[in-house]
Amino acid sequence: MSFGSRARAAMSAYGPACVGIDPHASLLEEWGLPDDVEGLDRFASICVEAFAGHVGFVKPQSAFFERFGARGVVVLERTIQDLRHTGSLVVLDVKRGDIGSTAAAYADAYLDDDAPMAADAITVSPYLGFGSLQPFFDVADKNDAGVFVLALTSNPEGPEVQHARNGDVTVAGGILAQLAALNADAQPMGAFGAVVGATIGEAAEDLAINGPLLVPGFGAQGGTVDDIRRLFGAVIDNVIPSTSRGVLSAGPDVGALRDSVARVNAQLVGS
């Protein structure tokens, strides 16, 4: 099945929520865990137990594993492998972006199904030019994986690049239009999605890309169900709202974590 088909099935089976696995030092402390690789390993294991096969999408943030060096990357690799093929789709948040053979190597590392750290989808940055992402799209297509391209991010610095105009369209609008072209005629939706923050306020750009829309900033970061309804309107069925601290603050109890996700999904489905 294509990533678009698998994403639609996951949303139908579990709800649209994506839970981030973001082992901040402060969150490890909240869970009573040491800020070291042993604490990281325990944190990740609890998240796998809580979310695997219970949540449609899980999004490990690579940076919070990488900060522990090689041993942290080992924990990330094992976390991805433990989550995959349980019904949950792994969106690895790595925001990679490069050119030529380097981009191809990143694509092979994260999207080739035979790679040790292969995920169902990854996040990428298009700001070396949209065409620089072609190796990611090619490897994803070959392996029925997905790619989420940063388009309208919620960080305050984003608009200086994303809202800049390239002729008659904004930079973000051009990215979204090219994603729509890649996803044209895909059923039930394409494999190439966009990252659009829940806290951006307004979006003048056309979000109808016939692909999944990964929406960070929902929950503890301030984004609400009303924001999602207002921003995404007719394409709300393609929205995958992402929340981290809002769910993870219920840990380390596995049952409480699952209940927290269930409440989030109930909110979203009710929207």
**pLDDT surpassing 60 at residue 221:** yes
Are 4 and 191 in contact by the 8 Å Cβ rule? The answer is yes
Q: What is the DSSP letter of 34?
A: -
Are 214 and 18 in contact by the 8 Å Cβ rule? The answer is yes
Tens digit of pLDDT for each residue in 167-212?
A: 999 999 999 999 999 999 999 999 999 999 998 888 889 999 999 9
Q: What SS3 class is residue 109?
A: helix
Q: What SS3 class is residue 91?
A: strand
Tens digit of pLDDT for each residue in 56-91?
A: 999 999 999 999 999 999 999 999 999 999 999 999
pLDDT at 67: 98
Tens digit of pLDDT for each residue in 3-46?
A: 999 999 999 999 999 999 999 999 999 999 999 999 999 999 99
CB burial of residue 77 (10 Å; 0-12, 13-18, 19+): middle
Strand partners, 195: 150, 214
Are 35 and 41 in contact by the 8 Å Cβ rule? The answer is no
**pLDDT surpassing 90 at residue 222:** no
Q: Taking Cα atoms as reference points, which of 118, 211, 71 lies closest to residue 107?
A: 118
| Residue corresponding to tokens 């306020």 | 201
CA distance 220 to 143: 34
Burial 213-226 (b: 16+ CB within 10 A, else e): bbbbbbbebebbbe
pLDDT classification of 254: cutoffs 50, 70, 90? very high
**pLDDT surpassing 70 at residue 271:** no
pTM: 0.97
Tens digit of pLDDT for each residue in 107-132?
A: 999 999 999 999 999 999 999 999 99
Which residues have a Cβ under 8 Å from the Cβ of 233 and sit 6 or more positions away? none
Average pLDDT over residues 222-230: 89
Are 197 and 17 in contact by the 8 Å Cβ rule? The answer is no
pLDDT classification of 246: cutoffs 50, 70, 90? very high
Radius of gyration of the chain (CA): 17
Average pLDDT over residues 92-102: 97
CA distance 191 to 211: 6
Q: Choose the catalytic residue: 95, 163, 245, 263.
A: 95
pLDDT at 215: 97
CA distance 251 to 154: 26
CA 34-35-36 angle, to 5 degrees, is 95
Average pLDDT over residues 123-144: 98
Q: Is 95 a catalytic residue?
A: yes
Element (H, E) at 36: none
pLDDT at 203: 84
CA distance 223 to 205: 19
